Structure 1
Amino acid sequence: MGVVAGWRDELRWTFTGTDRPPQWPQDFADGTDGGYFGPDSAVWAVHGSMTTLVAGIRALLVQSLHPGALAGVHDFSAYRDDALGRLARTIRWIFTVTYGDTAAARAGCDRVLRMHERVRGGYTDAHGAPRTYSANDPDLLRWVHLAFTDAFLAAECAYGGPIPGGPDRYVAEWAVAAGLMGVPDPPRDAAQLKRQLAGFDGELAAGERVAEVVALLKSPPLPASQRLGYRILFAGAVATLEPKYRRLLGLDVPALGPVPLPVRTATRVVLAVVRLGLGRMGPSEAAARRRRRRLGLDG
């Protein structure tokens, strides 16, 4: 039991930045309404799934391919020294929008937008031209939203279960988050998501900074007990990438010569083990359900 408890604490530290249950998920039990999403939503199904572990890796890989988005991370983020802290902050934002009441979701997005106000500077675009950037530029916010949505959808479709209403419903529901973050006209179905992503193809580029991100994501500073499982999840994320993204990132689907490795099966096994360690329902969802019951929205 002590070994299991210790492993659970290590997992909690990786995802939240503390080895104790943090307070912020418990705060989702407070609030005055049901939030933007509920138990029957596609968003709860996807974001409550262990496939988010794969999706997070995939999203960060793809997001790094936009030189403007990467410039902001490179210039203002301590991601090289505090990769897990950045992960914990991203998880907190996702879960606040997913499980908080509408006031908490809006406040969480406003907090991120305020932090973005100082993130501005210059970069060289994919064609070698000098450009300026602001983290709150609607075009960059759109890219981040598209890469995020596509990653979470792809991971759930590859390694998760059925999505209520299918992919179109998830894309349409998560457009709420885009609106809260100031993204105009976000995609409302999977076809629009693909079209909007393709519109960025000419703006994406590889380079030293991208290689640095890939190297960090390949081997982040994790406890020894998590490293093998993480390598499998990384391979699972790479396996879901479109070939055009893999080429830019310099990544290949793991194989022994011409024979692909059983990445899908291995990824599902690791996700099942992590679910066993963390429990069937996360504290954010549990707190949101308590709020909804208190408000008489659910039985």
Structure 2
Amino acid sequence: MGLRDRIAAELTAALHGGDLELERYAAPPGDPGLFGITPADPAWRVHGQATGMLTGGFAALMLQSLHPLAMAGVDQYSDFRADPVGRLNGTVRFITTTTFGSAPAAREVIGLVRRIHTRVHGTAPDGRPYRADDPDLLTWVHTAEVSSFLAGHQAYAPRPHRLTPAECDTYYRQAAPVAEELGAREVPRTAFEVEGYLTRMRPRLHATPAALDSVRFLRAFGRTPQERLAVRLLSNASTGLLPDWARTELGIRRPAPVRVCWDRPLATALGRTLEWGLGPSQIQAAARGRLAGAGQG
């Protein structure tokens, strides 16, 4: 097996569990998907750019951890420490299916997540009750996630493929219905609304011991030396996508010159290598075939 094949096999196993389940994306012919996202749309472009999604995904997990109630649910219920790859597989499957999949496949994964959320509830260390299906908590998780994905895309997509300000607003509008299907409410739909939302949330956010522990675990993860190196480079780069106050809360001390002159070039080089190894996305190709199949079913 050559280098490119090894990279593709390892990434497919790490991100998708080894099975792309292309039937989720390829059929039925002509199905527009639950949210009508096409290859020209910002949501397709952002969620289809590997380096931006990898760095943005790490940043999203760090930012989400700063909500004490969201972190309590993860700490008390998630198996991310025992099975981090399985947890990653589930997250990737949800994002790819709701973006590129057929409407039935998207409804299936949304229903699965909603059922899981009903079972996640308890009391945070500060004594406050929490529920994973709380609409306000769902809005936080979604907004932290999509703002991080977009930041990753804008930092790591080739310059001609980055979004204009108007396209950034379109991205947020296209992503919002996914959160609403899960039960979120008052979801920000423009960059201005996202900025205002994060500003309003700031007083509620701080790093709990569980948050600090989860970030340490995340940045040190890896089943092999090569995987640990890749995670370290990508997670270092992801800290540059966080707001300054979030890095301060998490105790991350990486000066701006290090983030710009060291972390970003290394992550860019690694990302290009991983993208080369993956080759053209089979998932996106299957989705394009389904979208082009109107009238064939």
Distance in 1 between residues matched to 2:173 and 2:265, nearest whole Å: 30
Mean Cα displacement is larger for which, 103-112 or 86-95?
Answer: 103-112
Gapped runs of 5+ residues in structure 1?
none
Aligned to 1:63: 64
Q: Which has the higher helix share?
A: 2
Aligned to 2:32: 34
Letter of the structure 1 residue corresponding to residue 130 of structure 2: Y
Letter of the structure 1 residue corresponding to residue 248 of structure 2: R
Aligned to 1:293: 292
Aligned to 1:266: 266
Aligned residue runs from structure 1 range 93-132, under 5 A: 93-125=94-126, 130-132=127-129
Aligned to 2:144: 147
C-alpha offsets along residues 233-254 of structure 1, whole Å, 9 cap, x if unaligned?
1111001111110011111226
| 2:130 counterpart SS class | strand
TM-score (norm. length: structure 2):
0.91
Q: Does the 8 A contact of 1:57 with 1:237 survive in 2? A: yes
From the superposition, tell whether residues 255 and 227 of structure 1 become closer, same or farther in structure 2 (CA, over 3 Å). farther
Q: How many residues align?
A: 288
The sequence identity of aligned pairs, in percent, is: 34
| 2:211 counterpart SS class | helix
Question: How much has 1:296 moved relative to structure 2?
Answer: 5.3
Aligned to 1:225: 226
Distance in 1 between residues matched to 2:32 and 2:259, nearest whole Å: 49
Distance in 1 between residues matched to 2:105 and 2:16, nearest whole Å: 18
Question: How much has 1:185 moved relative to structure 2?
Answer: 2.1
Question: How much has 1:262 moved relative to structure 2?
Answer: 2.5
Distance in 1 between residues matched to 2:225 and 2:62, nearest whole Å: 23
From the superposition, tell whether residues 230 and 211 of structure 1 become closer, same or farther in structure 2 (CA, over 3 Å). same
Gapped runs of 5+ residues in structure 2?
none
Distance in 2 between residues matched to 1:179 and 1:271, nearest whole Å: 32
Question: How much has 1:209 moved relative to structure 2?
Answer: 0.6
Q: Does the 8 A contact of 1:238 with 1:252 survive in 2? A: no
Letter of the structure 2 residue corresponding to residue 4 of structure 1: R
Question: How much has 1:25 moved relative to structure 2?
Answer: 3.1
Distance in 2 between residues matched to 1:118 and 1:278, nearest whole Å: 36
Letter of the structure 2 residue corresponding to residue 69 of structure 1: A
C-alpha offsets along residues 122-141 of structure 1, whole Å, 9 cap, x if unaligned?
0145xxxx210110000110
Distance in 2 between residues matched to 1:123 and 1:141, nearest whole Å: 16
TM-score (norm. length: structure 1):
0.90
Question: How much has 1:45 moved relative to structure 2?
Answer: 0.4
| 1:24 counterpart SS class | coil
Letter of the structure 2 residue corresponding to residue 136 of structure 1: D
Q: Does the 8 A contact of 1:254 with 1:261 survive in 2? A: no
| 1:199 counterpart SS class | helix
Distance in 2 between residues matched to 1:198 and 1:255, nearest whole Å: 22
Aligned to 2:237: 236
Question: How much has 1:101 moved relative to structure 2?
Answer: 2.1
Aligned to 2:281: 282
